[in-house]
Amino acid sequence: MSERPQAGTTEQAIIGLLGGGQNVTFSHATAQGLMFIVKDQSLVDLGQISQMGEVRSCELADGTLTVSLGNTKEDQMASKYHDFAGEVLENVGGLANVKGLTHCITRLRFTLADEGKANTDHLKDMDGVITVMQAGGQYQVVVGNKVDDVYDTLVNEFGVKGAGEVPADEGQDDPSGEKTDLFTALMNTISGVMGPSLMGLAAAGMIKGIISLLVALGLMQTTDGAYMVWYAISDGFFYFLPIILGYTAAKKFGANEFIGMTIGAALVYPAMVNLATTNEVVGSLFVGTVFQMDYYNTFFGLPIVLPAAGYPMSVIPVILAVWVDSMLEKWLKGIIPESLKGFLVPSICIAVMGPLTYLLIGPIAGLISGVLTFIAETIYNIPVAGAAISGLVIGGAWGTLVMFGLHWAIVPVFLNNFATLGFDYVSAVTLIGGFIGLGQGVAFLIKTKNKKMKDIAVPAVISQAIGIGEPLLYGIQIPSKILFVQNIILSAIGGLILGLFKVKVYMPGGMGFFTFPSYIDPANPGDLSNMIICFVVVMAMMVAGFALTMVTYSDEKAGFAPKGTQKVAA
């Protein structure tokens, strides 16, 4: 049990400002402070609570008050990133200018009330800051591999609102209050839902790929207990992905997370997944088209339409369903009396969303998935040139898409292909740019004489080797310009070659050198040809990146020539 910080008199004082003990139905100590559930939140004096000396931050939502506490002694024992995080916060405009904060692998993603208050030049000059990006309604400070620690410091020691506390529509509007365009809103939504799960997805894909390679090499059998356990945990992540995304989507849309997970669980419930194998077809929709859907049972006469394999590994259905649920929840909370909300809202939501998901949202998602698959397959299957063109365009554009966060637009296509086809050919070329960057990074370390840039490059190259490319992208490639352009050209060439060989990837996830086992077909683990072709092409392009950088790079051309006090180019 966590030790309660600043309990006792502080807790009693807060209860007094909550309308007294008669208005408090539940209280609990957390690692950071206290949590209370109140009957009538209109009786809560939030202003007085926030002014208490021991209170770092407090927030009231849906009848729940969370209070973060701290004292001077604890503040003196702040984390090693306290000063760095404080300087970042000050130069994004201070706590009052931060509406919300999330983070990815290397970036602090601020949603600011007014980006004009941020001191971008100072942030770019800070030791420990790689660069600053402004994209998709977010102010992104790239800090590299220490992002987790800096994020925790900002949330726990400075009271910045973390991702879980950001309102549902955060990031959809710009600082002036104008709605962003539909594409930006879509990118924010997809990144907000998928982003928190990416490290788990990468880890699961890595384990699944490694054990597939061990089977292919004859070092493990699929009947071995070790294989079965590791396969269960790695494949289980993908199979039950709708449950995971039900949680993250609910966080993004401001819905109840457990209702979101319940919707996801319904989509992968075994009896429904096996419906196509246990029941006879009783009817079909869109007969004779690429969107034909069979149904195997009805709900009061309405067809229950779902893919033959059900919804395991699916992405679009659960996101759409939780989005609809979030609106239903808000509407119900507005009309149901406060005393009845606790059990009526989730009960009604589950009772409504179960049938609605299977009868309407699932089929709509199926149509969307069908369109995405149809477009991808049509381009890929253009005679002679289709696969090569796909590889050239995706391979060459991937780095730029990542730079602006636009890769989220085609991530659903990848995942949809894995769910419907069992493999993907679109994302099969996205690993090339990272390995070319690795070759460029090693050459850069050999060639550069700029000490500060070399200090940035060392951890960036190490990160790139394990598949985390943002430190190298933002710290070296983009500032130098020439390395970024060369990476685009070489990635396009490598993508074209992989496209010509029609290389496929069979499982998402995997990072760095651990990506290659993902190119082994689990249905035919003895055939390593697909992986070998991918490895040879990628290694050849990595060597090309190294050689080209060694021949063409100079600090003077890149603007990194030492000139007294060093400064990282923006």
- For residue 44, the domain's CATH number is 3.30.1360.60
Q: Which two tokens stand for residue 335?
A: 């009309």
Q: Does pLDDT of 5 surpass 70?
A: no
Residues 546 and 432 in one domain: yes
* Cα 58 from Cα 69, distance rounded (Å): 9
Q: For residue range 264-291, list pLDDT tens digits in order.
A: 999 999 989 888 778 888 888 777 776 6
Query: 199 versus 278: which is more confidently predicted?
Result: 278
pLDDT, residue 465, reads: 84
pLDDT, residue 187, reads: 63
pLDDT, residue 468, reads: 74
Q: Does pLDDT of 232 surpass 50?
A: yes
DSSP per residue, 262-292: HHHHHHT-HHHHTHHHHS---EEESTTSTT-
Domain boundary among 50, 71, 92: 71
> Could you tell me how many helices (H) and strands (E) the chain has, helices first?
25, 11
Owning domain of residue 464: 386-558
N-to-C CA span, the chain: 47
pLDDT, residue 487, reads: 94
pLDDT, residue 486, reads: 94
Compute CA distances 363 → 23, 317, 356, whole Å.
46, 8, 10
238-252, 442-456, 486-500, 556-570: least confidently modelled range = 556-570
Q: For residue range 328-361, list pLDDT tens digits in order.
A: 999 999 999 888 888 899 999 999 999 999 999 9
pLDDT, residue 80, reads: 76
pLDDT, residue 29, reads: 73
Query: For residue 570, is it within any domain?
Result: no
Query: For residue 234, is it within any domain?
Result: no
Residues 21 and 63 in one domain: yes
The answer to whether 568 touches 452, Cβ cutoff 8 Å, is: yes
User: Residue 395's CB: how many other CB atoms inside 10 A?
Assistant: 28
**Residue 554's closest CA among 482, 486, 485?**
482
Residues 493 and 417 in one domain: yes
Residues 352 and 418 in one domain: no
Query: For residue 183, is it within any domain?
Result: no
**pLDDT band at 564; cut points 50, 70, 90:** very low
pLDDT, residue 79, reads: 64
Q: Which residues of 274-297 are buried (b: 16+ CB within 10 A; e: fewer)?
A: ebbeeeeeeeeeeeeeeeebbbbb
33-37, 75-79, 384-388: least confidently modelled range = 75-79
Q: Which two tokens stand for residue 102?
A: 């999330």
Residues 55 and 132 in one domain: no
- The predicted model gives 372-382 an average pLDDT of 75
Residues 406 and 521 in one domain: yes
Query: For residue 207, is it within any domain?
Result: no
The answer to whether 538 touches 546, Cβ cutoff 8 Å, is: no
- The predicted model gives 305-310 an average pLDDT of 77
Query: For residue 214, is it within any domain?
Result: no
Residues 485 and 536 in one domain: yes
pLDDT, residue 44, reads: 85
Helix or strand run (H / E) with residue 103 = strand 98-103
Q: Which single residue is written with the structure tokens 């690429």? A: 290
Computed on alpha carbons and rounded to an integer, the radius of gyration of the chain in Å comes to 26
Domain boundary among 176, 191, 219: 176
Residues 298 and 371 in one domain: yes
Query: 200 versus 406: which is more confidently predicted?
Result: 200
Query: 165 versus 85: which is more confidently predicted?
Result: 85
Q: Which single residue is written with the structure tokens 């800090």? A: 143
Q: Does pLDDT of 250 surpass 60?
A: yes
Residues 61 and 25 in one domain: yes
Query: For residue 189, is it within any domain?
Result: no
pLDDT, residue 569, reads: 37
Amino acid at 547: A
* Cα 405 from Cα 193, distance rounded (Å): 14
Share of the chain above pLDDT 70, in %: 86
pLDDT, residue 181, reads: 57
pLDDT, residue 31, reads: 62
Residues 504 and 546 in one domain: yes
Q: For residue range 100-144, list pLDDT tens digits in order.
A: 888 877 788 898 888 889 998 899 888 888 888 876 678 888 887
Residues 89 and 25 in one domain: no
Query: For residue 567, is it within any domain?
Result: no
Compute CA distances 20 → 59, 163, 169, whole Å.
18, 31, 33
Q: Which single residue is written with the structure tokens 């208490």? A: 52
pLDDT, residue 164, reads: 34
Q: Does pLDDT of 420 surpass 80?
A: no
* Beta-bridge partner residues of 66: 35, 59
Residues 365 and 393 in one domain: no
pLDDT, residue 13, reads: 82
**pLDDT band at 180; cut points 50, 70, 90:** low
Overall domain count for the chain: 4
Q: Which single residue is written with the structure tokens 């000396």? A: 53
pLDDT, residue 568, reads: 39
pLDDT, residue 166, reads: 33
pLDDT, residue 567, reads: 40
Query: For residue 200, is it within any domain?
Result: no
Q: Does pLDDT of 36 surpass 80?
A: yes
Give every CB contact of residue 429 below 8 A, 6+ residues apart in sequence: 390, 391, 394, 395, 398, 491, 494, 495, 498, 499, 503
Q: Which residues of 430-464 are buried (b: 16+ CB within 10 A; e: fewer)?
A: bbbbbbbbbbbbbbbeebbebeebbebbebbbebb
Query: 41 versus 440: which is more confidently predicted?
Result: 440
* Cα 545 from Cα 548, distance rounded (Å): 5
* Cα 390 from Cα 429, distance rounded (Å): 9
The answer to whether 107 touches 143, Cβ cutoff 8 Å, is: yes
Burial of 404 (0-12, 13-18, 19+ CB in 10 A): exposed
Task: Give strand ranges (E) for 96-189.
Answer: 98-103, 107-112, 131-135, 138-142
pLDDT, residue 167, reads: 31
Domain boundary among 176, 203, 225: 176
pLDDT, residue 216, reads: 80
